[in-house]
A and B are shown apart, each in its own frame.
Chain A
Amino acid sequence: MGGLERKVALLSAVSYTGISLTVALAFLVTATLVGTYTDVARFGGAAWVFLLSMIVTMPLVTSRFKKRYRA
C-alpha cells in the first residue's frame, strides 16, 4: 500500500507541476507577445501565476489520482 501511495504522490506531483508550469508558461508567452512589460513583471507575474496554479491544481489532481487508484 505504501508503494501505491508513493506512486499516487509522484504521479500527482508530476501532473500538477506540469499543469502549473504550462499555465505559467502561457502567461509568460502572452506577456512577452502582448505589450511592453519589464522582465520583472513578466517573470514575477509568471511566478505568481505558477504559485497560484499549483495551489489550485494540487488538491484537485491529488484527490483525482487517489480516487482512480483506490477504485
Chain B
Amino acid sequence: MSTKQITLPVIGMTCASCVTTIEGALNNLSGVEKAGVNLAGGKASVTYDPARVGVPQLVQAVTDVGYEIGTEQVTLQVSGMTCASCVTHVEEALTGLEGVRKAVVNLGLETARVEYIPGLVTVAQMKRAVREVGYGAEEKVEGAEALDREKEARQREIRRQGLYLAFTVPVAMLVMLGTFRDYWILPQLVPEWLGYKWVLGLLTTPIVLGPGRQFFVNSFRGLRHGVTDMNLLYATGIGAAYGIAVVNTLWPTAGFGGEGATFFESAALLTSFIILGRWLEALTRGRTSEAIRKLMRLQPKVARVVRDGREIEIPADAVEVDDIVLVRPGEQVPVDGLVLEGYSAVDESMITGESLPVEKKGGDEVIGGTMNKTGAFKFRATRVGKETALAQIIKLVEGAQASKAPIQKLADWVAGHFILGVHILAVVVFVFWFFVGYNLFFDPSSAFILSPYKLGEIGVFGFSLLLSVTVLVISCPCAVGLATPSAMMAGTGKAAEHGVLFKSAEAIENASKLQTIIFDKTGTLTKGEPSVTDAVADGQWRIADSKAIGHQPAVIGEVLRWAAIAEKNSEHPLGEAIVRGAKAQGLPIPSAESFNAIPGHGVEARFDGREILLGNRKLMRERGVDITTLLPQAEAVEKDGKTVMFLALSSLTSHVPSQDVRRETGDMKLVGLLAVADTLKDYSVEAIQRLHRLGLQVAMITGDNRRTAEAIAKQVGIDRVLAEVLPQDKAEEVKKLQAQGLKVAMVGDGVNDAPALAQSDVGMAIGSGTDVAKETGHVILIKEDLRDVVVAIEVAKATMRKVKQNLFWAFVYNTLSIPVGAGLLYPIFKLVVSPEWAAFLMAISSVTVTLNTLLMRGFVPSIRKEERKRQAVLRQLAPASAGGGGK
C-alpha cells in the first residue's frame, strides 16, 4: 500500500475536544492510516492511502463534524479560450487538481477564479494544468497593470489574427476565382493557369499550414489530454476539405469524386472565415468589459501630500492613512479622506453616478478617483490602496463579472456537451447519407447554396463526408457560451457606472424577477434622525418688546428659540433635533442658567429670569400647566406619528432654585408646542412612485409602533406596512412573503437589517449604511438616493433581456443551421451548404451575439434620462434668460 501525507488547514478549533473530534472523524475513514491535529497551528496532518480515500472525503469528514477547511483564492488570467467548451476544459483541468475546491472560469474576462486549499496545490501547478490542456495561464495582476497586460494581450491577438486575415483573404479570393473561372464572365478576366488544380493546391497549402496551423496544434494539445473544443471542429473541417482536394488532385481516379470534387476553395475560405470570426471577436469582446476599464482608469496616479512640513508629490499608492493631502482645482482626489479645510465642488459622477458636482467643506468625506472642480482643499487620508471606495468597487464589479448566473447553467451545460454532440451528429449524418440518403436523394445536377458549383461527379463517400464536415463547421457553441457572460459583464459595468454595485450575476438575474420590495424605515426611507417638523405658538402669546403675537413667524421662531435654549445641554435625540432646528433657522441659542433633565418627561431650565418647561403632556399636567388650547393641534400632528413637546414659560424674574420652581411657580403659561419626527429622505417618495409604476408591490418594515409606521408609509406612498417587527423577526417576514411565491428584495442599511438582507432574493444595502449590511447585501447602492433601487431593477431587467435575446439568437442559429448543414433540405431543394459558407455563418453568429451585447452600452436608466433632459432644458434656458436680462 503506497500512502500519502497531507496537511489540511482547519478553522474553528477552540479546545482539545475539537482535536479529538476531528482526529476521530478522520481516523474513522477507511483508507486513513493516521490523523493528527495541531490545535495551536490549526492544522490536521493526515496519512492516507490515495487508492482508497481522496482529499474530498477528508475535507467532508472535517466539515461534517462542524469545522471548516481554510481556503485561499487566486485569479488566473487564461488566454486562448474561444468558446464555452474551453470554459469547461479549463474548469475541469483545475478542479481535477488535488486541493482545488472550486474553479469558475469567465470567458469574457478570460479569468479563472480558483478556491484552493493551501499546501495541497500551488498556483504553479494550476498554471501547468491549464497549459497542459492547451491554454495560456498567468497569475492575474491587479489594477492598472492588469489592465495594461490584458490590453496588450488583446492587441497582440487582434494584430496576429489581422495579419493572418490580410494574408488568407486575398489568397483565398484567388483560389475562389480560379475554382470558378469557367463561369460567368470570368473566362475573359481570369488566366487559365489560375484554374489548374495544382495551382489552387499551391495557393491553398500555405493558408492551411500557415494561419490554419493554430487550429490543428490547439486541437492536438486538447486531444492529448482528452478534451475536445472548437479548434477540433475547425481542424476536422479544414483537414477533411484539404485532404480530399489533395487526393482528388494527385489521384483523380481514387474514387473520392475526382477533379470535380477538389475543394481547395472550401479549405481556403473556411480558414479565412474562421480567422475573420476570431479577429472580429477579439475586436469586440474587449469592449464588453469597458466599464471595468473605465473604473480602473479612474485610479489616480499621483498625490500631493504634506510631510515634514513640506509639500511633496508622491505616487497615489504611497499615500498612507492620516497623511494630509492637498487637492487643487482640476486635480483628481487621490485617496478617500475627510476634508480638513478649504471649500470646493467635486465631480463624483464617476463613482456615484451623481450628475451634479457635490460641495465639499470641512468635515465632509471625499472619495478617491473623483475630480475636484473649483476650489482647493486639504484633507486627511482615511482609506488608501486597496481599502479605497474605488478599489472596493473595482473588486466587487470584477467579482460579479466572474460569477455565473443561474441561467448560465443551461447554456454551460449545452456548450460543454456541444462539441461531443456535434461529432456524434457528424457520424450519424455520415452514416445516414452513406447508406441511405445518397441512393435515395442524390442528384448530380445539385449544387451548393449561393454557388454555381455543381456536385456532379462526387461519389457516395465524398458527398457523405461533405455533409458530415459541414455539420462540424456550421455548429457554433461560441454564441451559446458568450450569450450570458458577455451580457452580464456589460450589465454589471453599466450598473456600476450609475452607482449600483451588483455582487454577483445571480443578483442581476434575481433583481430582474422581483415582485415585492421591502424597505427598512429608519435610515433607509427616513433620514434616521429626528428633526423639528412643526412649531406652533399659543394664539395669545406675545413676545416682550414686540408687537408680534400668536401664529406669526417671529412668534413661532421664539417658541423654537426658547425650546432650544432649554435643550442646549441635552443629550437626548429629541433635544438635539430641536437645537439643530433652531441653528438651521439661524436663531441665537444662549446657554441656560440652569438645566435639569426629567427622564421620560422632558426638561426644565432657567434663562433670562424665566423658567422654561419643555416636555410631554404628563410633565405639563404634573406642573399644572393648562394645555387645552393647543390640544387639537397636538392630536393632529400625533396622528402623523410625530412626537409632541409642549413649551411653557414663567413670568418670574427672581432667582428661584429650579427645584423650588416646580412647587412655587403656579404662573407657568403654555406658549407653544413643537413636533419632532424622523423625516423622509429626499427622493424616497419619487423612488416609491417609480417602483409602483414598474408594477412592483412595495412594503415597509419597522420596529416602530403601527401609528408612526403608518404615518410614514402614508407620506411616502407605501400601502403595505409591517410594523412592530423585532429586528430578529425581519427575516421571518421576508420568508413569509417568499412562501407566497414572491421574489422579494429587501432594502436596508443597519446591522439589524442584515438577516433580512441575506434572506431576501436580492438584498440591497445602502452605501452609507453599516459594513455588516454592505457585506450581507447582494447589491450595494453607493449613494443614499433610493431612486437607485429603480436603477438597479432597470439595469437588471435590461441585462436579462439582453441575455435572453443572445440565447435566443444563439439557439435559433444552431437549431436552424445544423439541420440545414446536415442536408435536411437536400431531398426537396437539392441544395447543400458548402463548408466555407458554414464557416462564414458560424463566424457571424458569435459576432452577432457580441454586437447585440454591445448595444447595452447605450442603455440609460429612466431617471438619468429624465435628469439629462432637465439639465438640457436648463442649459437652453440659461443663455436665454441671461440675454433677456441684458436688454
Could you tell me which A residues sit within 8 Å of B by CB distance? 1, 4, 12, 27, 30-31, 34-35, 37-41, 44-45, 48-49, 51-53, 55-56, 58-63, 66, 70-71
Interface contacts beyond A12-B226, A44-B465, A48-B465: sample of 10 additional A-B pairs, CB < 8 Å, sorted by A? A38-B461, A40-B254, A40-B256, A44-B255, A48-B468, A51-B236, A52-B426, A59-B226, A61-B226, A63-B226
Query: Are the CB atoms of B255 and A41 closer together than 8 Å?
Result: yes
Q: Which residues of A contact B427 (CB under 8 A)?
A: 49, 52-53, 56
- Expressed in whole angstroms, the Cα–Cα distance for A61 and B465 within the complex equals 26
- Which of B186-194, B339-347, B430-438 lies at the interface with chain A? B430-438
Contact B460 A52 (CB under 8 A): no
Complex contact A48–B430 (CB within 8 A): yes
- Return the chain B residue nearest A54 by Cβ: B223
Q: Which residues of B contact A63 (CB under 8 A)?
A: 92, 226
B423 sits at the interface (CB 8 A): yes
Binary interface encoding of chain B residues 232-257 relative to chain A, with 1 for a CB under 8 A from any of its CBs, else 0: 10001000100000000000001110
CB-based closest 4 A-B pairs: A62-B226, A40-B255, A41-B461, A38-B255
Alpha-carbon gap, A56 to B426, bound state (A): 10
Taking the closest CB of chain A, its distance from the CB of B70, in whole angstroms, is 23
Q: Which residues of A contact B50 (CB under 8 A)?
A: 1, 4
- Select which of B54, B256, B426, B468 is within 8 A of A71 by beta carbon: B54
Q: Does B825 contact A (CB under 8 A)?
A: no
Q: Is A40 within 8 A of B226, CB to CB? A: no
* A55 touches which of B92, B223, B254, B461 (Cβ 8 Å): B223
Interface centre among B254, B424, B439, B461 (most CB of A within 10 A): B461
Q: In the assembly, what is the distance between CA of A4 and CA of B4, in Å?
A: 13
B residues lining the A interface (CB < 8 Å): 50, 54, 92, 96, 223, 225-228, 232, 236, 240, 254-256, 420, 423-424, 426-427, 430-431, 434-435, 439, 459-461, 464-465, 468
Asked if A59 and B228 sit within 8 Å, CB to CB, the answer is yes
Q: What is the distance, in angstroms, from A56's C-beta to the closest C-beta of chain B?
A: 5
Nearest A residue (CB) for B439: A35
Residues of A within 8 A of B426 (CB): 52
Minimal Cβ-Cβ distance residue in B for A37: B460
Q: Does A55 lie within 8 Å of B96, measured CB to CB?
A: no
Compute how far the CA of A62 lies from the CA of B225 in the bound complex, rounded to whole angstroms: 8
Can you list 11 residue pairs at the A/B interface with Cβ under 8 Å? Answer: A27-B431, A37-B461, A39-B255, A40-B256, A45-B434, A48-B430, A49-B427, A49-B430, A55-B223, A55-B423, A56-B420
Given A48-B468, A63-B226, A71-B54, the answer on whether A34 and B435 have CB atoms closer than 8 Å is yes
Q: How far is the CA of A44 from the CA of B228 in the complex (A)?
A: 23
Q: Assuming the A-B contacts A41-B255, A59-B227, are A35 and B435 also in contact, with contact meaning beta carbons closer than 8 angstroms in the complex?
A: yes
Q: Tell which of A1, A44, A60 touches B420, judged by Cβ atoms closer than 8 Å.
A: A60
Q: Which residue of chain B is the closest to A23 with respect to CB atoms?
A: B427
**Residues in A neighbouring B227, C-beta threshold 8 A:** 59
Q: Per a CB cutoff under 8 Å, which of A34, A45, A62 touches B461?
A: A45
User: Bound complex: CA of A49 vs CA of B430, how far in Å?
Assistant: 8
Main secondary structure of the interface of B (DSSP, over half): helix
A12-B226, A56-B423, A59-B227 known; A41-B435 Cβ under 8 A: no
Question: Residues of A contacting B54 with CB < 8 Å?
Answer: 70-71
Contact check, A45 vs B464: say whether CB atoms are below 8 A apart.
yes
Beta-carbon contact of B430 and A45 below 8 Å:
yes
Measured between C-beta atoms, what is the minimum distance from A46 to chain B in Å? 10
Q: How far is the CA of A60 from the CA of B423 in the complex (A)?
A: 13
Q: How far is the CA of A31 from the CA of B460 in the complex (A)?
A: 11
Are A55 and B228 in contact, CB atoms less than 8 angstroms apart? Answer: yes
For the complex, give the distance between the alpha carbons of A17 and B272 in Å: 33
- B461: min CB distance to chain A, Å: 4
Whether A58 pairs with B223 at a CB distance below 8 angstroms is yes
Return B94 CB to nearest CB of chain A, in Å: 14
Q: List residues of chain A with CB within 8 A of the CB of B232.
A: 55
Complex CA–CA separation, A35 to B438 (angstroms): 12
Report the nearest B residue to A1, measured CB to CB.
B50
Q: Is the CB of A44 within 8 A of B461?
A: yes
Contact B459 A38 (CB under 8 A): yes
Are A31 and B434 closer than 8 Å at their CB atoms? Answer: yes
A62 to chain B minimum Cβ distance, whole angstroms, is 3
Q: Is the CB of A40 within 8 A of B461?
A: yes
A39 to B253, CA, bound (A): 12
Residues of A within 8 A of B254 (CB): 40
Q: Of all chain B residues, which has the CB nearest A59?
A: B226
Q: In the complex, which of the residues A30, A53, A66 contacts B96, with contact meaning CB atoms closer than 8 Å?
A: A66
CA distance A4 to B240 in the complex (A): 36
Task: Please name the residue on chain B nearest to A16 by beta carbon.
Answer: B226
Q: How far is the CA of A53 from the CA of B240 in the complex (A)?
A: 15
Return chain B residues, CB-CB under 8 Å to A4: 50
Q: B461 to chain A: which residues have CB within 8 Å?
A: 37-38, 40-41, 44-45
B428 to A, closest residue via Cβ = A52
A41 touches B420 (CB 8 A): no
Q: How far is the CB of B564 from chain A (nearest CB, A)?
A: 76
- How far, in angstroms, from A53 to B225 measured CA to CA in the complex? 16
B133 to chain A, nearest CB (A): 11
Given A12-B226, A45-B461: A55 and B236 interface contact (C-beta under 8 Å)? yes
Provide the residues of chain B in CB contact with A34, threshold 8 Å. 435
**One of B236, B240, B420 near A59 (C-beta < 8 A):** B420
Chain A residues whose C-beta falls within 8 Å of the C-beta of B439 in the assembled complex: 35
A61 → chain B, closest Cβ, in Å? 8
Give the shortest distance, in Å, between B239 (CB) and chain A (any CB).
Answer: 9
Inter-chain CA distance A34–B92, complex, in Å, is: 43
State the CA gap A4–B49 with chains docked (Å). Answer: 13
Bound-complex Cα distance A34 to B263 (A):
29
Distance (whole angstroms) from the CB of B143 to the closest CB of chain A: 37
